[in-house]
Amino acid sequence: MNEAGSREAPTGPDAAAGGAATGTVGVVGLGAIGSGVASSLVAAGFDLVVCDVDPDATARFADRASVAVSPAELAGRCDAAVVAVVDDDQVRAVLTGEDGLLAAPGRLAVVVVVSTITAATVAAMGGAAEAAGVTIVDCGVSGGPSAAQAGDLICMVGGSDEAVGAASPVIEAFSSLVVHTGPFGSGLVAKLARNTIQYGSWLAAYEGQRIAEAAGIDLADLARIVRASDARIGGPATLMFRPTVAPFGPGDDAGLVAAMEGAAGLARKDLRAAAAAGAALGLDLPLVAMVERRCDAVFGVGGDPDLGPGGPGERTGG
């Protein structure tokens, strides 16, 4: 867990000498992520106030926190608040509803939204917070409930330098990695990009399992093979080492480009063989066909045929 920086209470949460957190933080929403975030905040030394529509959820924190009957009441008792509800409607209600955090902010100075919501809602909540004089950041989180409980979430934070600095003592209490991704709203976009990679890899795993299952291969054996192989060659992030997805240019290292061209050729060969195996087994494998078609783009050695002019296939400069 990262050591939090220092701020003067009551304008926000603080970390005293030696890393002991001070100040009062509220958590609205005690589901799979919110309950772990709340536990991590207590472990970091913050005084905790919790709020949830389910009384059983707040009862589980009776020995560690006080309970607010509404987000508005929580705002009056806390220096900072973490919003960990499920969807856009709930976030809007928690922040701008009649009994929302921003209805009467009181001492509330900082709001951290960890819910995965639409960009439009993020923008609207940012405007509402600004009008209320409250600092807000959007904080995409990855790692799941166990990471939240252990204070090991991966956090993608959008906001100004000042806003992220104000929120950092709170965020660092429940994270092992905090990345300031850019202006307000960018944390959510980073989370959506990360989720796209995850769900896409699961689709690839699904198509691979279809091939294996149709051929009579035990899927548990395939899973063991994939896990052991990924430990050596890496997963989806293996090719994520460049600052752009545009094709390599004349100024790029010729040896690297040649290696990537060779890798693209091997991938195309393997994917064509997989498609042929699928066809022989009576399987339609649309992802295999899509990746084979876009191999040059995946490896950075050609344009993306499905995007056309103006997409990542177009590169200006070296």
Degrees, nearest 5: CA angle 58-59-62: 100
Say if strands 66-67 and 153-158 run parallel, antiparallel, or are unpaired.
unpaired
Q: Which of 7, 180, 191, 294 is catalytic?
A: 191
d(CA 246, CA 248) in angstroms, rounded, equals 7
Phi and psi, residue 24, nearest 5°: -115, 130
Which residues, in sequence order, are CB contacts of 91 under 8 Å at separation 6+? 83, 85, 113, 115, 117, 121, 125
User: Which is it for the CA torsion 73, 43, 6, 130, positive or negative?
Assistant: negative
d(CA 16, CA 266) in angstroms, rounded, equals 56
| Widest pairwise Cα distance in the chain | 68
Burial (Cβ within 10 Å: 0-12, 13-18, ≥19) of residue 6: exposed
Burial of 197-210, coded b for 16+ CB within 10 Å and e otherwise, reads: eeeeeeeeeebbeb
DSSP state of 309: T
Decide: helix, strand or coil at residue 27. strand
User: Is 269 known to be catalytic?
Assistant: no
| Two tokens, residue 106 | 């009181």
Give the residue numbers annotated as catalytic, written as ranges. Answer: 191
